[in-house]
A and B are shown apart, each in its own frame.
Chain A
Amino acid sequence: MDYVPVIRRAQEGDDRAARQLFDDFQLRTYRLALGLLGDTADAEEVAQDALTYALLNIHRYNPELSSFSTWLHTITVSRARDKRRRKILPSISLAQWLGLGNQIRDHAPGPEAHYMHREMESRLFLALDQLSPKLREAVVLRFYADCTYKEMGEIMGCSLNTARSRLRLAIEKLRANLGDETVRWLVTETIR
Chain B
Amino acid sequence: MAGHGNHSLEPAHPDDATLEAYALELIPPDQADTIKQHLEGCPVCAARLRRLSDLHASIAAGLHRALDPARPKRPLDFARVESEWRKPPRRVSAAARLARLMSGILSVIAVALFALTLTVLALQDHQPALSTLRLAESYNGPPAVVAAAVEEGVAIVALDAQGPRVVRLVPNLNPVDALQIAPDGRWVAFEQSQTLHLIETRAGGTAVKLELGERSGWSWAPEGHILAYTDGRGQLALFDPTDQAHTLLVPAAEQAWGQPVWSPAGEQIAYATAALPDDNPAAPSGIWRVDLATGYRIELARSPAVGTTLLAPIAWLDGGSDLLARSVSEPYAPPTLYRIDVARRMAVTLDASTPVQGRQLVWPVNARGQMLAVRQGQVVIYDLPREEARAIPNRLRQPAAAAWSPAGTWLALVVPGQPEGGGLYLYAPEQGRLRQIQLPKGAAEKSVTWAGPEHLFVTRQPDSSAQAELWLVSIAGDQVPRRLLSGIALSQTGLPHNAIAARVVLPSAS
C-alpha gap A94/B65 in the complex (Å): 12
Contacts A45-B496, A143-B59, A168-B21 given; does A18 touch B332 at CB 8 Å? no
B59-100, CB under 8 A of A: which get 1 and which 0? 111111111111111111110111011100011111010000
Given A12-B96, A124-B59, A191-B58: 15 more A-B contacts, CB < 8 Å: A18-B91, A22-B76, A23-B78, A31-B70, A44-B74, A51-B81, A55-B81, A59-B93, A139-B63, A144-B60, A144-B67, A168-B21, A171-B56, A175-B55, A187-B54
Query: Interface-forming stretch among B102-110, B121-129, B355-363?
Result: B355-363
Which one, B24, B73, B178, contacts A40 given CB within 8 A? B73
Which one, A57, A82, A135, contacts B90 given CB within 8 A? A57
Q: Which of B328-364 contact A (CB under 8 A)?
A: 330-332, 355-359
C-alpha gap A104/B70 in the complex (Å): 9
A15 touches B21 (CB 8 A): no
B193 touches A11 (CB 8 A): no
B210: interface (CB < 8 Å): no
Contacts A124-B59, A186-B58, A187-B54 given; does A104 touch B65 at CB 8 Å? yes
A13 touches B92 (CB 8 A): yes
A87 touches B331 (CB 8 A): no
Which one, B61, B177, B277, contacts A190 given CB within 8 A? B61
B55 touches A187 (CB 8 A): yes
- In this complex, the member of A22, A86, A90, A103 whose beta carbon has the largest number of chain B beta carbons within 10 angstroms is A86
A8-23, CB under 8 A of B: which get 1 and which 0? 0011110100110011
Taking the closest CB of chain B, its distance from the CB of A179, in whole angstroms, is 12
B67 touches A35 (CB 8 A): yes
B212 to A, closest residue via Cβ: A85
B67 touches A56 (CB 8 A): no
Contacts A22-B76, A168-B20 given; does A45 touch B497 at CB 8 Å? yes
A183: interface (CB < 8 Å): yes
A143 touches B56 (CB 8 A): yes
A47 touches B277 (CB 8 A): no
Which one, B26, B277, B355, contacts A132 given CB within 8 A? B277
Which one, A31, A85, A89, contacts B357 given CB within 8 A? A89
Taking the closest CB of chain A, its distance from the CB of B50, in whole angstroms, is 8
C-alpha gap A84/B69 in the complex (Å): 23
A-B contact list, 12 entries, CB within 8 Å:
A15-B82, A23-B78, A38-B331, A53-B494, A56-B84, A59-B94, A81-B194, A85-B215, A167-B26, A168-B26, A186-B58, A186-B62
B491: interface (CB < 8 Å): yes
Interface range, A side: 35 or more
9 closest A-B pairs by CB: A190-B58, A103-B69, A186-B58, A143-B60, A187-B54, A144-B63, A13-B91, A31-B67, A86-B358
C-alpha gap A168/B78 in the complex (Å): 38
B91 to A, closest residue via Cβ: A13
Q: Which residues of B contact A104 (CB under 8 A)?
A: 65-66, 69
A164: interface (CB < 8 Å): yes
Q: Which residues of B contact A143 (CB under 8 A)?
A: 56, 59-60, 63
A111-150, CB under 8 A of B: which get 1 and which 0? 0000000000100111001111101000110011000010
Which one, A52, A131, A133, A183, contacts B80 given CB within 8 A? A52
B24 touches A171 (CB 8 A): yes
Contacts A53-B175, A89-B355 given; does A191 touch B54 at CB 8 Å? yes
Which one, A47, A167, A183, contacts B72 given CB within 8 A? A47
B71 touches A27 (CB 8 A): yes
- In this complex, the member of B26, B59, B215 whose beta carbon has the largest number of chain A beta carbons within 10 angstroms is B59
Taking the closest CB of chain A, its distance from the CB of B9, in whole angstroms, is 19
A133 touches B214 (CB 8 A): yes
Contacts A56-B84, A132-B276 given; does A45 touch B67 at CB 8 Å? no
C-alpha gap A95/B63 in the complex (Å): 12
Q: Which residues of B contact A144 (CB under 8 A)?
A: 60, 63-64, 67
B277 touches A130 (CB 8 A): yes
A48 touches B357 (CB 8 A): no
B57: interface (CB < 8 Å): yes
Q: Which of A159-192 contact B (CB under 8 A)?
A: 164, 167-168, 171, 174-175, 183, 186-187, 189-191
B4: interface (CB < 8 Å): no
Q: Which residues of A contact B93 (CB under 8 A)?
A: 11-12, 59
Which one, A26, A27, A44, A133, contacts B73 given CB within 8 A? A44
